[in-house]
Amino acid sequence: MRKVIFTLWLLGAPGAAPALEADRPPAVAGQFYPADPKELSRDIDGYLTKAKPERKLSGPLVALVVPHAGYEYSAPVAAVGYLAVSGAFDTVVVIGTAHRARVDAAALYAHGAFITPLGRVPVDENLAARLLKDAPALFQDRPDAYEGEHSVEVQLPFLIKRLTPGWKLLPIIMNTDDPQTRLRVGLAVAAAIKGRKALLIASSDLSHYPPARVADKVDRATLKAMERLDPEFFWLSNRIMMAHGEPGLETTWCGEAAVMAVMAAARAQGADRAVLMRYANSGSSPAGEAGRTVGYAAVAFVRSGRSPAAGTTLDEKQKKSLLALARQSVDSGTEGKQAEGKLMDDPVLNLPSAVFVTLTEDGRLRGCVGTTAPRATLRDAVAASAFSAAFEDHRFAPVTKDEVAKLHVEISILSSARPVADAGSIVPKKHGVIVSQGGSTGLFLPQVWEQIPDKDGFLSELCEQKAGLPRDCWKDPKTRLAVFTVSAFEEPIVGVNLHKTITR
């Protein structure tokens, strides 16, 4: 039956050419999208006509993230993304998910063409051959991995409708769990398409299969993380979302490998912004159910000429919420209760964050604890750090119930730490500093410069007080130095001149 239908498609497809032995017939036409060319063309036109982006692009398009589910569920979202695609391209690189076969790194379909109801899409055989030759440890010619696979196929009808004829396809599917392999695939693709007019497509759905209320929180958080165009931060965000154990959540992005590869490739091609054009989940589809959903998003990676966002920016409402949370965490802790992890409706509060919470009492340090690297959401990190500052800072006795009202709370959100070669790279009043040697580590927040403005004195106190090392350890070539910045905010200071000590 497949051969008969396949022949009819070719006869009815616009600009159809005879099928070659290496050509891949459609696997999900008639299931994920209409098999009839006229019906498919009419449906796509309808989706595009109704599509309304949530945001405008801030620069030329480099790459696109679009869903790959059945059209009745995801096509309204995909269409919004494809509104940004038009014109003539040499090559379209579609990196999708390998749902049906295990792939070590990246599987190519290196010869022939993909047959669709709307026509034949030739594979860019020269580009595929280059990748197979230049990076044989990453790329394999695996036509078998494409048997029954839909993640690349479902993108082709939209591309045929939106692009000027003449482009070729480079199909890649992935499912490797190794983050570094994903990045290497993306960078290899970027190197191979350099100088070509190429479009990058990541084919991926989002969360599977939580209730709609959970999907919205999880998906909005990972999409917010994507805005940084930092594949490793995106990866960490997904891990932290999964660690919350939300009901029904089996994965955050089924095409996480593809998205990370495209993100790396897009950055190498000059992309500096991720623009969310549309988000929805299957619970809002007439065919879906709110209790078991899949998330869909259309995201454009663009060249805006501006640097990607490097940290978390909070408004006053968010700051007040976190300060109140820290105080509540301390108050509950006096009764032996510790705050449990919780996802918030505000996606910013669900981003991975490194946080320190500083408690003072009558101007004296009462506790200061945090982490130098993100290990939890911003909300959870503040709650845990406040608890630890009050009850687990070994320098102080645990806070009592009577003390809580006297405490002053300050929260510092840390940027990523970066190594520096020597003290000459440390900027007073700007940088927090981490020293480490052997198994000993110490950290001073940038606020400590207020008490020790002299760099030599600052670093000497850090070595001795916080790391338990000789005062001049910062001069020792064996000592590793790293710097970071903070975004700090605190409760209003009422009726007391707080003098914050250097030991936080």
Task: Summarize pLDDT for 175-216 with one digit per residue, the tens.
Answer: 999 999 999 999 999 999 999 999 999 999 999 999 999 999
| Same structural domain, 79 and 195 | yes
**What band does 284 get if pLDDT is binned at 50, 70 and 90?**
confident
Strand boundaries in 129-231, DSSP class E: 139-141, 168-174, 198-203
Instruction: Give the CATH number, domain containing residue 325.
Output: 3.30.700.20
CA distance 241 to 126: 40
pLDDT at residue 6 above 50? Answer: no
**What band does 287 get if pLDDT is binned at 50, 70 and 90?**
confident
| Same structural domain, 158 and 248 | yes
| Same structural domain, 220 and 343 | no
Within a domain: 500: no
| Same structural domain, 331 and 355 | yes
Give the per-residue pLDDT at 20. Answer: 62
Domain limits for position 402: 316-490
| Same structural domain, 259 and 171 | yes
| Same structural domain, 69 and 176 | yes
Mean pLDDT of 152-171: 98
| Same structural domain, 256 and 346 | no
43-57, 124-138, 485-499: the lowest-pLDDT one: 485-499
**What band does 311 get if pLDDT is binned at 50, 70 and 90?**
confident
CA distance 195 to 188: 14
The string of pLDDT tens digits covering residues 13-26 is: 334 455 567 899 99
| Same structural domain, 211 and 178 | yes
Last residue of a domain, one of 302, 324, 346: 302
User: Rounded to 5 degrees, what are φ and ψ at 311?
Assistant: -150, -175
CA distance 305 to 149: 37
| Same structural domain, 406 and 334 | yes
Last residue of a domain, one of 277, 302, 327: 302
Within a domain: 85: yes
Within a domain: 388: yes
Mean pLDDT of 407-429: 96
Within a domain: 495: no
**What band does 494 get if pLDDT is binned at 50, 70 and 90?**
low
| Same structural domain, 461 and 387 | yes
Q: How many domains does the chain have?
A: 2
Within a domain: 257: yes
Give the per-residue pLDDT at 21. Answer: 72
| Same structural domain, 278 and 339 | no
Q: What share of the chain is helix, strand, coil (3-state, %, to 5)?
A: 35, 25, 40
Residues with Cβ within 8 Å of residue 269, at least 6 apart in sequence: 62, 63, 190, 193, 200
Within a domain: 188: yes
pLDDT at residue 1 above 70? Answer: no
**What band does 3 get if pLDDT is binned at 50, 70 and 90?**
very low
**What band does 409 get if pLDDT is binned at 50, 70 and 90?**
very high
Within a domain: 364: yes
CB atoms within 10 A of CB 137: 10
Residue type, 190: A
Instruction: Give the CATH number, domain containing residue 73.
Output: 3.40.830.10
pLDDT at residue 433 above 80? Answer: yes
Mean pLDDT of 118-145: 98
pLDDT at residue 2 above 50? Answer: no
Within a domain: 39: yes
Please tell me the pTM assigned to this model: 0.90
Q: What percent of the chain has pLDDT over 90?
A: 88
Mean pLDDT of 6-17: 41
| Same structural domain, 351 and 451 | yes
Give the per-residue pLDDT at 401. Answer: 96
